[in-house]
Chain A
Amino acid sequence: MLTYTLKRVLQGIVTVWFIATATFVAMHAVPGDPLANQRATNEQIRLNLEQRYGLDRPVSEQYLVFLGGILRGDFGISFTQENRRVNDIIRENFPVSATLGILAVAFAALGGILLGALTALFRDRVPDLAIMFLVILAISVPSFVVAAFSQLMLVDINAYLGFSLLPVAGWGTLRHMIVPSMVLGLGTMAYLTRLMRSSMLEITSADFIRTARAKGLPPARIFLKHQLRNAVLPVVTVLGPAIAAITTGGFVVELVFAIPGLGRYFVEAVQQLDYTVIMGTTVFYGAFLVSMVIVVDLLYGWIDPRVRLE
C-alpha cells in the first residue's frame, strides 16, 4: 500500500508538471496582449510594464522563471489585481471554494446514493418515476437558470415570511452556505442518482445476491453490506474528478450568490489573459485534482477487496 501511494504521488507530480507546461504553452500561443487596455499607452510605458511582469524576456526564460517560482511556492503577481500576489489570491479564496465544493459534493454524494438506491428499490413505481423526473429536469436546465431561479425563490420566501430565513447572497455564516452548495451539487447529484440506480439494478439481479437470499441472510444486511457497497463503486469513481470539477466550476454559483471564491478568478483570468493567475490556479487545481484521484483510487481498494492495486 505504501509503495503504491508513493508511486502515485510521484506520478502525480509528473502529471502536474505536464499540466503546467501545456497550459503555459497554450497561454502564450493564444493571441491577445495581456498588457493591452482600453486606453492606449506609449512605447516607454509598455516597455516598463513588460519589464515589471517579466514579459520582455524570451518565452523559454519566462518558463524557467515560472518553474522556479513553483518550486519555491511562489506564483508571482497578478496582472489585473496589480497589488496582490497570486499566492494570496489562492490562499484567501480557495478555502471558500473548497467549502462550497465539499458541501456540494457531500450533498450530491449523499443525495445521489440515497435517491439512487430508492429508485432501484421502487423500480417503476411512483418514487422511481418522481425522482427520475426531477433528475431529468435537473440536468436539462442550465446551471445559471437553477441558480437564478433559486435566488428568486429565496427572495419570495423571505418576503412571504416577513423575515430573512436564508440570505439571498453573500458569504460568511452557516446560513449562507446552504442554498449555494445545494445548487452547485444539484447537477452532480442527478448524475450520481442515475449511476447509483443503474448499478443497483445490475447488482440486484446478480447471482451472489440470489445466493445470499437463498442462504437466508437478513434482507437488510444484504442491502447494506452487499448491494449498496458494490453499487457505490462507480459513484466513487466519479467523485474524484467531481470534487475537482465542482470546486473549479463553481463560477456560476459564485457569481449569482456573490461568493468570494476562486472560480470567478479562474474564469476572469482567462478572459483578461492574466498569465500569472492562470498558471497559478491551473497548477493548484491540477495538484488538487491529482490528489483527489489518488485518494479515490485508494478508496477503491478499501471498498472492493477484489480490486488489487498494483
Chain B
Amino acid sequence: MNVAVRFSPADFAPVVAEQQLQSISRPSLSYWQDSWRRLRQNRRTFASLWAVVTLGVLTVAGPWVWRVDPAVQDIDQISQAPAWPSSALIVPSYTPWVAVTAMPTRQGDAVTNLRLAESASTQAVRLVWEPVVGAAGYVVYRSVYNPAPDRALGLPIGEVLGADQVSFEDRLGLEPRRYWYSVVVTDENRAEQEAYAVLVIDAVRTVSAEDAELRGWVEDASALAPGEQIGLPYHPLGTDYLGRDMLARLLYGARVSLFIGVVAPLLFVLVGVVWGSAAGFLGGRIDQLLMRVADFVIALPFLLFMILFKIAFGIGPGESGVFPMLVALVLLGWPSTARLVRGQILQVRQEGYIAASQLLGARTGYLVFRHMIPQTMGVILVTLTFAVPSAIFTEAFLSFIGMGVAPPTPSWGSMANEGIRTMLSHPHELLFPALIISVTVLAFNLLGDGLRDALDVRMRGRE
C-alpha cells in the first residue's frame, strides 16, 4: 500500500542553533590554584601552616610581650626548674667569717656538738663543733640524703687542718633545701675515722639588700631592712646554667634559629635543585663535571673550612657572624640535594611525555620547570624538612667553635648543646629547646607533606 508521508515546508526549516552549550560546571583552575585548594582542604597541613605562622609571630612579637633580658644572670637561681614565684629573706651583706678555734680536751673518734653558728641560709652555712684530741684535721661532707646507715656522706666540700680548727663555712651552690652535714676526724695520714657526726639543716633562701640593689630589684638598698621578704624575679620556664631566664632565651633564640633553620635550607635546596636538574637533564660530560664537583664539596673537611670561612669573612672576636654562617652552610650543604634531584630527573627523563613535549617544540627550561621539577617535589620536600633541624644543630656546633652567634646571644641549638651536660640533674635545660625544635620540625614536616600532596601533579584534578 502506498502511504504518502506528508511533508510540510516546516519540516525543512533549519534547526535553530542552541545557544546554551554544555557549560563548565566549575571554573578552570591553574596548577597553583588547584594546589592551594587541595592544601586548604588537608586539615593537618593547614594546622601546620598555622603553627609555622605562630612560630613566626612568636619570633617577632615574643620579646615584646615577655620583656625579660635573656642575658641577665640571676646568680641566686641558677639551673632552677620551672616553679612558682619565690621570695627571699633580706639579710645583712656577707662578711667573711673568722675561723673559730678551740683546744681539744676530749678523746674520741668523732666530733661532738656539731651545730650551726647562726641560722642556715643560702648565703652561707656556718658550722662549729667540739674538737677531739689526736685529730690532725677534719673533713666536712654534705649530702641531700641521709648518710645513715651506710655512711654515704655525700660530697666532700672542705677540709680544715689542725686539731683546734672547729669551724667551717659552706657557700658552695647552696639551695633552699634540706642538707645533711657530716664532720669526720682525720689523722696525720689524712685517713678518716669511721665514726662521723651529722647535722640536718634546712637552708633558707636569702639575699642581701646590697645585692638586691646591684641586681636592679630595688632602687635603693636602704629601702630594705633585714627580716623583710623580697620577691625574686619569676622564671616560668626556669633558668639555665647561669641563671638566665629560659623563656626569654627561647624567644630571642627563635630569631637566630628560625632564620638559619629556614633560610639556609631553602637556599641550599634551591642551589641543589638547580644543580641537580642541570646535571640530570643535560647529561653527558656536563653531568659528570657537575657531579664530580658535588663529590668534591662533600669530601672537604667541614670544620677546617668553617674556620677558614670565619677568617675569610673577617668576623672579629666576639661578633656574631650570622651571614657568613649562612653562606657557609649553603656552600657546603647543597651536594646531597643535588644528587637526589639528579637521580629523580634521570628517572623522569625517560618518560614518554618528555619526548613528546620535545617533539612538540618545548624548550629545556620549560620541560625542567614545568614537568620534571614537580615530579621531584616529594624528594625535595623531604630533604627540606630534614635540613631544618640539621641547620639548627650545625649552627649550634659552629657557635661552639666560635663561628656563628657570639655569647650571650642565644640560639636553640646551642641551648640544647648546653642542656645535654645537665641532662640528668636539670633536664628542663635540655627539654625546652629540644621540645621547641621538635615542634618546629614537626610543623615543617607536616607542611612539607601537605605541600607534596598539594603540589603532586598526579593528584591534580582529583577530589
Contacts A198-B452, A237-B339 known; A290 to B299 CB distance under 8 Å? yes
Is A142 touching B295 in the complex (CB atoms < 8 A)? no
Name the residue among B350, B382, B416, B442 with the largest chain A CB count within 10 angstroms: B382
Is A278's beta carbon under 8 Å from chain B? yes
* Pairwise interchain contact A140-B441, C-beta atoms closer than 8 A: yes
Residues in A neighbouring B379, C-beta threshold 8 A: 195, 198-199, 234
Instruction: Summarize A's interface: helix, strand, loop or mixed.
Output: helix
Closest to B307 in A: A30
Q: How far is the CB of B379 from the nearest CB of chain A, in Å?
A: 5
B residues in contact with A142, CB < 8 Å: 393, 396, 413, 416-417, 420, 434
Contact indicator per residue, chain B 136-149, by CB within 8 Å of chain A (1) or not (0):
00000000000000
The 8 Å CB contact of A293, one of B295, B420, B434, B445, is B295
CA distance A139 to B442 in the complex (A): 10
Cα separation A231 to B390 with both chains bound (whole Å):
24
Cβ-defined contact, A289 with B343, below 8 A: no
Q: Is A126 an interface residue (CB 8 A)?
A: no
B311 touches A29 (CB 8 A): yes
Cα-based distance from A191 to B336 in the complex (angstroms): 12
Closest to A242 in B: B336
Kindly list chain A residues whose C-beta atoms are within 8 Å of the C-beta of B288: 7, 11
Indicate whether A110 reaches chain B with its CB closer than 8 angstroms.
no
Answer whether A11 and B299 are a contact pair too, CB < 8 Å, given A30-B308, A270-B304: no
Complex contacts, A38 vs chain B, CB 8 Å: none
Assess the A241–B438 pair: CB atoms within 8 A.
no
A26 & B343 in contact (Cβ 8 Å cutoff): no
In the assembled complex, the Cα of A31 lies from the Cα of B144 at a distance in Å of 48
Chain B interface size, under 10 / 10 to 19 / 20 to 34 / 35 or more = 35 or more
Q: How far is the CB of A248 from chain B (nearest CB, A)?
A: 9
Distance, CA A233 to CA B339, complexed state (A)? 11
Point out residues on A near B: beta carbons under 8 Å.
Answer: 7, 11, 14-16, 18-19, 22-23, 26-27, 29-31, 132, 136-137, 139-142, 144-145, 148-149, 152, 190-191, 194-195, 198-199, 201-202, 205-206, 230, 233-234, 236-238, 240-241, 244-245, 266-267, 270-271, 278, 281-282, 285-286, 289-290, 293, 300, 304, 306-308, 310
**Would you list 29 pairs from A and B whose C-beta atoms are within 8 A, ordered by A residue?**
A11-B288, A11-B292, A14-B292, A15-B299, A19-B296, A22-B296, A23-B300, A26-B304, A27-B304, A29-B308, A136-B438, A136-B445, A139-B389, A142-B393, A145-B434, A190-B386, A191-B386, A194-B385, A194-B386, A198-B379, A201-B378, A202-B458, A206-B458, A244-B298, A244-B299, A282-B300, A282-B301, A289-B299, A300-B343
Query: 9 additional contacts, CB 8 Å, given A15-B292, A145-B423, A240-B339?
Result: A23-B301, A29-B311, A140-B389, A145-B430, A270-B307, A281-B301, A293-B291, A300-B343, A308-B350
